[in-house]
Structure 1
Amino acid sequence: MKPAVALATLASSTLAAGRTLGSTNQIEKRALATSDPFYPSPWMNPDAEGWKEAYAKAREFVSQLTLMEKVNLTTGVGWQGEQCVGNTGSIPRFGMRGLCLQDSPLGIRGTDYNSAFPSGQTVAATFDRALIYKRGYAMGMEAKGKGVDVLLGPVAGPLGRMPAAGRNWEGFSPDPVLTGIGMMESVKGIQDAGTIACAKHYIGNEQEHFRQVGEAQGYGFDISETLSSNIDDKTMHELYLWPFADAVRAGVGSVMCSYQQVNNSYGCQNSKLLNDLLKNELGFQGFVMSDWQAQHTGAASAVAGLDMTMPGDTVFNSGRSFFGPNLTLAVLNGTVPAYRLDDMAMRIMAAMFKVGKTTDLEPVNFSFWTTDTYGPVHFVANEGFQEINSHVDVRADHGNLIREIAAKGTVLLKNTGSLPLKKPKFLAVIGEDAGPNLRGPNGCGDRGCDDGTLAMGWGSGTANFPYLITPDAALQAQAVSDGSRYESILTNYAPAQTRALVSQANATAIVFVNADSGEGYINVDGNMGDRKNLTLWKDGDALVKNVSSWCSNTIVVIHSTGPVLLTEWYDSPNITAILWAGLPGQESGNAIVDVLYGKVNPSGRTPFTWGATRESYGADVLYEPNNGNGAPQQDFTEGVFIDYRYFDKFDTPVIYEFGHGLSYTTFKYSNIKVEKSNAGEYKPTEGTTAPAPTLGNFSTDLNDYLFPSDEFHYVYQYNYPYLNTTDPKEASGDAHYGQTAEEFLPPHATDSSAQPLLRSSGKNEPGGNRQLYDVMYTVTADITNTGDVAGTEIPQLYLSLGGEDDPVVVLRDFDKLFLQPGETGTFRGTLTRRDLSNWDVEKQDWVISAAKKKVFVGKSSRKLELSAELN
């Protein structure tokens, strides 16, 4: 039997002495980046909109549970303990298996007969709410079909502060409104399908370098603590918290806290982030789970707002847990109040009931650890040999949806008339990115390589391809159908052969190039998750320049995880078209053919800015430790000025601005109108919560919590809620055992009395004060298709908040109009009170400033054809 581990103390939320702070200005700005302690951890609201029925069911169920059954709900069984990437303990008395938690935000990781969807970044480029929802629903259905209860997505962290950050592609966009819409529609889709969504990684998790100590040390960095993202209150609210608020409004069932520290307090025990911002201000009713090994304390993290530990062990395969028996003991000795454990369990069960689940969960029909049909249920223990993979096909007709999203998410950046293709006489396709990985589409674990065409990044945010249609295969099939001549050279390193091919008469050359990135545990060619630079991989820039020097009709297709530098070649007259095809998923080739040949009139819009230099973006990845062997310090001193907001602030030229995208037709904008609504005056929330609910008494006799008997079968490295001795000090493994909760924990950590409501919170409305979402203005404009073919236009609504420290413009809404030639449609966008507000750090609330505000409607952040002042 395994001993319990020590209950570590809460990490400090203030700066440790002796750290190098840099310039005076940096010191002043860092002084604003604080995470003041906030206790107690808020308990669920029985009257929360969208949660009432789920709350009632959860309370009834949890009221019947023993203390150890509640602990089992909160504790993962350990890495490789069961079939999913994460599994909670079960409740056999009620016939409930443990919950199955599984990656990823673009499909079901590690299984077979599942779909590989386009990335979040690619679906964001569609600017299409309906497609984002459909993608979420399809992924939720596939997860449900595999027996997955919690799908680990969607992603709003990273938001995309730095363009080279490794996991930007898992999320949507560095714009908080576009990401917020991506989060909201994805959450709705996933949960409407009967699967719990997980909004991650909360919060400030903007790079891979230094996110975990062990990972960084493995790369040779001498650090003892993870990176600290230092974010001030105003920036937190107006930028990074914004899309998480939208996820909470959508009713998201779970939130994953992140690896790194925020303001020098670990994200999974930062009471300001979890208790105050998430559960109090935003009124989040679901449960907070740790990222895998992101928990650093036991009782301290529980009272700071953590509800579930994943995968359950302190370190992979340690057989020790910060929760499990330690949480059992912490409740028994009063360190963690019983109501906090009740609330943890209720949040988990309410999230289940909210999406329509019952305690009779469908069986898990796959194993993440192997695709073998038969094997051990308890993989690390090599126990429970049975059928663990039923190879259930959950794909339905999702291939058609994937193809549609990939095509409509393709952005036509440049076109001088070579597109759409119309049965070209001779098509020459060049580049490794057009062809297959010779080891197969899944030949690199978690896609940890850049071989063949790039259709997803690498890391835990991946899924196995059921197939991958390469651009070469799809283009060749189209060419054969058209009677075109077709040849391809699927390498970047055959200059003589390439020149001989593309310099021939009648050649239309299509060059495929890419730039990859992913999660930090995989290093691809020195890219430790984050990209080393913003250039194309495998000498892609040289390939483009060479081909375009030999062929006067060169088309470039880019698959990438974010912007790349096009400065050296984008304006060449021989480059007649440039397309960004993102990370398109399994239908990659078919989708790009649809766009190149005009079967789909391109309507994608770039979800980020294409700058001329790396430096022009401002913020960048911290590649080297800057604080001795302590926690690297990353100061978000640019505030809300990232991506297009930063470029606009300094009036920096861009190659392609945020929101840019061409069509095979043209559109005219006219007749902007602004209508003010009758929304009333903003009233801050007042009042208090109810006291913490009491669900029942439990025994305090430690004999009742020992392993059941000598005959009990202990599975190796499996986390149980049982104690191994009745000596509490020995059971805890804590030399300081015996401290009271008052001595051990911060003030009010165990307070169960009624708590004051924040003025910015909702009384019963998740997402904040309900009046924040009142529509204040409706903006309309006429959009006319002035071209010769039908097409889709995406008018975008931007706002100037007018303050000295505000961005020039910020995206606030968009619409999507399909118009026939000569047809005029009406764009309609809205501005809510939140849209018009700034966060007031003194009032701790959203406030509409007195500055003059102006609204714009246009084709992109820098093509704003129409404008009007707001009264």
Structure 2
Amino acid sequence: MAQAVPADYGNDARIDALLHKLTLEEKMNLIRGERENPATYQGQAGFLPGVPRLHIPSLRFSDGPPGVLTRVPAQAETATMGVAATFSIKDVEANGVVIGRQARSLGIDVVLQPFINMDRDITFERGYNTFGEDPLLTGAMGAAEIRGIQSQDVMAQAKHYLAYDSNSYNMFVDQQTLHEVYAAPFADAVKAGVSSIMCSYNRINGSFACGNADILKTLLKGQLGFKGFVTSDWGAVHSASFINNGLDIEMPGFNGFFETGPERKTLHRKPNDGAMGGMEVGTIPEEPPAVDHSGAFPKDSDHMKMRDALKDGSVTEATITTAARRVLYEMDRFGYLDGHQKHTITPQDIEKNASVIRQTAEDAAVLLKNDHALPLKATELQSVALIGPGAGQVAAIGVFGERSGGLTERQIGPLDALRKLAPGAHISYSVDDDMTGVPIEASMLSHDGKPGLLRTDGTGTTTVDPQLDFTNSNHKALAANGTFTWKGTLTVPSEGVYWIYLQALGARAALQIDGKGVGRTGANQGDVHGDIQQATQDNIFPTTDGLDNVRRTVRLTAGSHDIKVEASGDTSDNPEQVRLNWLTPERRLHDHQAAIEIAKKVHTPIVFLWTRGEPNFGLPGDQDKLVEEIAAVNPNTIVVLNVSQPIAMPWLSKVKAVLQMWWPGDEGGWATADILLGKVNPAGRLPFTWAKKIEDYPATDPAYPERSAKGVAGKTTFSEGVDVGYRWFDKQKIEPLFPFGYGLSYSTFNYSDLKVAKAADGGLDVSVRVKNVGPLKGDEVPQVYLDAPLQRPEGVQFAPKTLAAFERVTLGVGETEEVRMHVAPRSLEYWSVAENRWVRSGERRVRVGGSSRDLKLESVAK
């Protein structure tokens, strides 16, 4: 591991000397995003050109979390929410090291993570990327990830500052809540020495976050003492004057407000519709229609460009110099001014990273229910059926977006992992929802009354192909960087809904039926989300042979339909693979009935369920119906979830066990098998409250429309105040399905001997004895909560209780450990709006236990 970057280091004399030599335009090259030269561009999110004349290097920014997204596929790590579920600082820091190591391998300087917003509203389409609903947990996770990333001489950029926690873009938050909840994780990031912070798209209390002096200058750079640089999200700048209010860098967007020269065409940009609507991922058949949030995105501006602001004096060169100084400070701090940067592409440390990813996926697993069904016993392994596409393939990443897409060659599904880890078992498999399908038969394809489709390449040469099936797996992949068009007629045997799959890799592709666009692959040349077609881009799973999979449903009448498929190279220089697959209505019905029949015949059916797109508190497609039908024919049904937000579970009482595996990354199949077999004892904890119904959450309670993304009169007001997540459930006395911090184990743990003492730093030292009284070695996660003060100052908000500390410990059978946890002084304080400062609260009751609703011991601390 590289030496950790000091939290406070910078050679002021050196930076002053450089600034003195820089021209105005060269300073702008340190604070204005540009497009990298196509000869070296790596499909990353952003680029600062630097100043070659003075050996000031360029900076590459790459998307996340988690992982690193460039034109070179990188390993997929456990989803952020799963990482939070480990409740393990050690695991999170190790994941940060993996991210930093990947970034170094792929020539990246700044990774745009951690994502430390609050999971306040489960309908927020990017909520899955957070560390959950609690500010202390989020801050601890984010800080650990930052330390891991920056130990590899890579800059971390915490995002999105501030209150970007809703599909709304106009948020209003009171000052106490702003400080105690939404800014708190960023305060922890600053303490961890984060290099940079990304300001968000939304308005906060009336002003755009990237031009809001209250949160950037007063709070972030003033009260929190942040010394790094503030980068705008792409397209989040609306005026050159934002630099006066605390913004340092404008990344390329729609308008280029930091332009100082003549008007130019828009530079390489990161599309805002990606940030708002699923990162260019089209809806797949199982999902409800996508919701378009683009109308809510703020597009207004004062049209002031930097060249005009400098002319009229509304922006001065001194302000530009101050912003450039912050960038140089971090370059110097990380050694980039001394050549410690790396822009070459070198092999990733696959095996070293994989061990961390597998460990994290195992530690993240949350056992939600277990009626003595898990782990699987030797006798049960003689008659097991795995059902669902998530059994045959691992749901590694869920939804493609800002994260690394993964290495499909490493993605072993739970089915194969179980068979390898338990070679004597008898395990059958039924896919139910076949997401790869079969090539459309040659007998159904024709052109001009002749068999086959007519292919035309970029030179105008024509060829007749009996089927559209050109892949590595059938040894017929096409040459790289070609342009191909297939035209012809599809003859459909009977009317019905057909599932059509356009599959590609090494190429971008589009499909038309009867002159109407049906689907296209997600990658576009010049895009910033990798730039090449990746196998995990357009579906919850790639095809079984590793192609990207654009899946659509089309109602077709019996008879002839015109079809057209276009494909072109994606600049990866890989052979072009293109295939047109489908599933007929009859085949889908057959596959579903086969799943029910196999469940009848075995002792234990295990059903794998998934989500991918915008959360809606429900499973896509007919997955609920599948579980109901299987549980009806076999009472021993077990469910494995690959979801990243809560879902309704109407079948919960009818199944024997429920295991939450999140989106576990490339190694998730192995991790899932390890948990099912009992090779690993699950100990993950929920980083959010799992409600019985969506209306129970504060942001989706219909009694408070102002809190919703739609808001009232265009304003979303966080009127729940500090009562976010479990705090709201406590205050309203709402019984959740599963509480925050909850998770079962294959073992049992006893708590005793709680001790609370004043700590040297003004906080509290809490200790508790935990004993493993169960049959297996396992981990336990003691959690410390503070009740509201026994005497509460008038006009100050206090949640009924708040998380104040936690620890994860491993205990052998019969082993006891005294677990020590520290409550920081800030947990004993509140933000006084009247005094504009942090104030110590009064006497607090300390509670300790295994979840927010399972607090076994208590004491009082003054």
TM-score w.r.t. length of structure 2 = 0.72
Alignment CA distance shift 1:69-1:663 (3 Å): same
**In the alignment, does 2:140 pair up with 1:181?**
yes
Partner residue of 1:148 out of 108, 114, 128: 108
Q: For each residue in 1:448-472, what CA deviation from the matched residue of structure 2 results, as whole angstroms up to 9, or x when unmatched?
A: xxxx835332322443435352434
1:682-693, aligned counterparts within 5 Å?
Answer: none
Give the aligned partner of residue 831 of structure 1. Answer: 823
Alignment CA distance shift 1:463-1:355 (3 Å): farther
Q: Say which structure is richer in strand.
A: 2
CA-CA distance at 1:50 after TM superposition:
3.1
Give the aligned partner of residue 328 of structure 2. Answer: 349
CA-CA distance at 1:510 after TM superposition:
0.7
Q: Percent identity of the aligned residues?
A: 32
Given that 2:768 and 2:820 are in contact with CA atoms closer than 8 Å, whether structure 1 keeps it comes out as yes
| Secondary structure, aligned partner of 1:456 | coil
Give the aligned partner of residue 502 of structure 2. Answer: none
Alignment CA distance shift 1:611-1:581 (3 Å): same
Query: How far apart in 2 are the matches of 1:485 and 1:273?
Result: 57
Given that 2:389 and 2:433 are in contact with CA atoms closer than 8 Å, whether structure 1 keeps it comes out as yes
1:808-823, aligned counterparts within 5 Å?
Answer: 808-823=800-815
Given that 1:74 and 1:323 are in contact with CA atoms closer than 8 Å, whether structure 2 keeps it comes out as no
Partner residue of 1:546 out of 629, 633, 636: 629
Query: How far apart in 2 are the matches of 1:403 and 1:167?
Result: 24
**In the alignment, does 2:362 pair up with 1:407?**
yes
Q: For each residue in 1:577-608, what CA deviation from the matched residue of structure 2 results, as whole angstroms up to 9, or x when unmatched?
A: 11111111111111101111111111111111
Query: How far apart in 1 are the matches of 2:747 and 2:841?
Result: 40
Given that 1:153 and 1:198 are in contact with CA atoms closer than 8 Å, whether structure 2 keeps it comes out as yes
Given that 2:81 and 2:131 are in contact with CA atoms closer than 8 Å, whether structure 1 keeps it comes out as yes
Given that 1:76 and 1:313 are in contact with CA atoms closer than 8 Å, whether structure 2 keeps it comes out as no
Opposite residue 58 of structure 1, the aligned amino acid is I
**In the alignment, does 2:59 pair up with 1:99?**
yes
Q: For each residue in 1:336-372, what CA deviation from the matched residue of structure 2 results, as whole angstroms up to 9, or x when unmatched?
A: 233322221111121222233225364534xxxxxxx
Alignment CA distance shift 1:64-1:473 (3 Å): farther
Give the aligned partner of residue 844 of structure 1. Answer: 836
Given that 2:419 and 2:425 are in contact with CA atoms closer than 8 Å, whether structure 1 keeps it comes out as no
Identify the structure with bigger relative contact order (alpha carbons < 8 Å, sequence gap 6+): 1
Query: How far apart in 2 are the matches of 1:59 and 1:428?
Result: 68
Given that 1:77 and 1:313 are in contact with CA atoms closer than 8 Å, whether structure 2 keeps it comes out as no
CA-CA distance at 1:107 after TM superposition:
1.1
Opposite residue 500 of structure 1, the aligned amino acid is E
Give the aligned partner of residue 557 of structure 1. Answer: 640
CA-CA distance at 1:422 after TM superposition:
2.9
Give the aligned partner of residue 652 of structure 2. Answer: 570
Query: How far apart in 2 are the matches of 1:853 and 1:362?
Result: 49
Alignment CA distance shift 1:325-1:640 (3 Å): closer
Given that 1:202 and 1:267 are in contact with CA atoms closer than 8 Å, whether structure 2 keeps it comes out as yes
Alignment CA distance shift 1:407-1:480 (3 Å): closer
Partner residue of 1:308 out of 239, 249, 252: 249
Query: How far apart in 1 are the matches of 2:411 and 2:217?
Result: 46
Partner residue of 2:676 out of 576, 584, 596: 596
CA-CA distance at 1:866 after TM superposition:
0.5
Q: Kindly report the root-mean-square deviation, in angstroms, between the aligned alpha carbons of the 2 structures.
A: 2.7
**In the alignment, does 2:613 pair up with 1:512?**
no
Given that 1:113 and 1:392 are in contact with CA atoms closer than 8 Å, whether structure 2 keeps it comes out as no
| Secondary structure, aligned partner of 2:609 | strand
Query: How far apart in 1 are the matches of 2:642 and 2:15?
Result: 45
CA-CA distance at 1:496 after TM superposition:
2.1
Q: For each residue in 1:648-689, what CA deviation from the matched residue of structure 2 results, as whole angstroms up to 9, or x when unmatched?
A: 1111111111111111111000000111235xxxxxxxxxxx
| Secondary structure, aligned partner of 1:603 | coil
CA-CA distance at 1:870 after TM superposition:
1.0
Opposite residue 800 of structure 1, the aligned amino acid is D
Give the aligned partner of residue 752 of structure 2. Answer: 670
Opposite residue 846 of structure 1, the aligned amino acid is W
Alignment CA distance shift 1:204-1:786 (3 Å): same
| Secondary structure, aligned partner of 1:272 | helix
Q: For each residue in 1:66-97, what CA deviation from the matched residue of structure 2 results, as whole angstroms up to 9, or x when unmatched?
A: 22211110011149975432111231212334
| Secondary structure, aligned partner of 2:321 | helix
Alignment CA distance shift 1:230-1:829 (3 Å): same
CA-CA distance at 1:125 after TM superposition:
0.5
Query: How far apart in 2 are the matches of 1:325 and 1:535?
Result: 45
Give the aligned partner of residue 33 of structure 2. Answer: 76
Structure 2 alignment gaps of length 5 or more: 257-263, 270-300, 435-587
TM-score w.r.t. length of structure 1 = 0.71
Partner residue of 2:391 out of 434, 438, 462: 434
Q: For each residue in 1:714-744, what CA deviation from the matched residue of structure 2 results, as whole angstroms up to 9, or x when unmatched?
A: xxxxxxxxxxxxxxxxxxxxxxxxxxxxxxx
Given that 1:114 and 1:394 are in contact with CA atoms closer than 8 Å, whether structure 2 keeps it comes out as no
Q: For each residue in 1:392-438, what CA deviation from the matched residue of structure 2 results, as whole angstroms up to 9, or x when unmatched?
A: 435352011101100110101111111111331111111123234xx
CA-CA distance at 1:112 after TM superposition:
2.5
Given that 2:708 and 2:716 are in contact with CA atoms closer than 8 Å, whether structure 1 keeps it comes out as no
Given that 2:419 and 2:427 are in contact with CA atoms closer than 8 Å, whether structure 1 keeps it comes out as no
Query: How far apart in 2 are the matches of 1:817 and 1:459?
Result: 34
1:598-747, aligned counterparts within 5 Å?
Answer: 598-620=678-700, 625=710, 632-678=714-760
Opposite residue 847 of structure 2, the aligned amino acid is F
Alignment CA distance shift 1:262-1:467 (3 Å): farther
Given that 1:79 and 1:313 are in contact with CA atoms closer than 8 Å, whether structure 2 keeps it comes out as no
CA-CA distance at 1:118 after TM superposition:
0.9
Query: How far apart in 2 are the matches of 1:230 and 1:324?
Result: 25
Opposite residue 147 of structure 2, the aligned amino acid is K
| Secondary structure, aligned partner of 2:220 | helix
Partner residue of 1:859 out of 838, 850, 860: 850
| Secondary structure, aligned partner of 1:63 | helix
Partner residue of 1:272 out of 214, 227, 234: 214
Query: How far apart in 2 are the matches of 1:112 and 1:356?
Result: 25
Which segment drifts farther, 494-503 or 55-64? 55-64
**In the alignment, does 2:168 pair up with 1:168?**
no
| Secondary structure, aligned partner of 2:75 | coil
CA-CA distance at 1:623 after TM superposition:
7.7
| Secondary structure, aligned partner of 2:149 | helix
Alignment CA distance shift 1:234-1:77 (3 Å): same
Given that 2:711 and 2:717 are in contact with CA atoms closer than 8 Å, whether structure 1 keeps it comes out as no
Q: For each residue in 1:688-735, what CA deviation from the matched residue of structure 2 results, as whole angstroms up to 9, or x when unmatched?
A: xxxxxxxxxxxxxxxxxxxxxxxxxxxxxxxxxxxxxxxxxxxxxxxx
**In the alignment, does 2:406 pair up with 1:419?**
no
Query: How far apart in 2 are the matches of 1:88 and 1:313?
Result: 17
| Secondary structure, aligned partner of 2:119 | coil
| Secondary structure, aligned partner of 1:308 | coil
Given that 1:150 and 1:198 are in contact with CA atoms closer than 8 Å, whether structure 2 keeps it comes out as yes
Partner residue of 2:15 out of 26, 44, 58: 58
CA-CA distance at 1:790 after TM superposition:
1.1
Query: How far apart in 2 are the matches of 1:485 and 1:406?
Result: 23
**In the alignment, does 2:137 pair up with 1:196?**
no
Structure 1 alignment gaps of length 5 or more: 1-47, 211-226, 366-389, 437-451, 518-529, 679-773
Opposite residue 715 of structure 2, the aligned amino acid is Q
Opposite residue 336 of structure 1, the aligned amino acid is V
Alignment CA distance shift 1:120-1:323 (3 Å): farther
Count how many residue pairs are aligned between Structure 1 and Structure 2: 650
